[in-house]
Chain A
């Protein structure tokens, strides 16, 4: 059974710092891996999608890497801003139909 773990559960950093969020999964047979942002009481915003054949994706200040063999992914956020404060979710695509298995998330707080 696929399990997704995110470390740390919470993180507080001063504005401007670079930071790394970690995600690990137990079964390397994944279709893809996706990082989302969730604001309190709101839905999910897709940040980056990495297909199983890819090793990384970049969008603006965000960079996500994928190492299938070790079951790990990292989300790197450069020059963090208060507006980055949110819960970041990692999810692996585990089935051919596209269902996702989520981690519990990392709650990020960026202090001005």
Chain B
């Protein structure tokens, strides 16, 4: 079945630094990738939608200059949290879909802690 690999699974960084999270579709081409964020006891909230080769579409309230998304190939999308602050600490998870993919395949998520 379709597999999405997400790395790292957890990361601790100092306030002010940047963190990159990778999301790879291993056995299918992902034309669209989604990035979600989940705060404790809250539902997953869509941050942005990225299509291969084009700029990402951000949801209202998500700063595009802070959360940089790159979807340079059909198998890789990256989310970079720039100048991270403690309030950015959250669970980030990606999802990929393709024309041939039935349903949505999620990565295993990244637990980001900013200290």
B-binding residues in A (CB < 8 A): 4, 32, 34, 36, 41-46, 49, 89, 91, 97-105
Contacts and interface: CB of A to CB of B under 8 A. Distances in A.
B6 A46 contact: no
Interface in B38-94: 41-46, 49, 51, 91, 93
12 contacts: A41-B111, A42-B109, A43-B108, A43-B109, A45-B106, A49-B103, A100-B34, A100-B44, A100-B95, A100-B104, A102-B43, A102-B45
A46 B103 contact: yes
Q: Name the prevailing secondary structure of the B interface residues.
A: strand
B31 to A, nearest CB: 9
Interface of B: 6, 32, 34, 36, 41-46, 49, 51, 91, 93, 95, 97, 102-109, 111
Contacts, number: 56
B98 to A, nearest CB: 9
B104 A34 contact: yes
Nearest to A9: B41
Contacts of A101: 46
Contacts of A100: 34, 44, 46, 95, 104
A21 to B, nearest CB: 15
A4 B111 contact: no
Given A41-B111, A43-B106, A102 B44 contact: yes
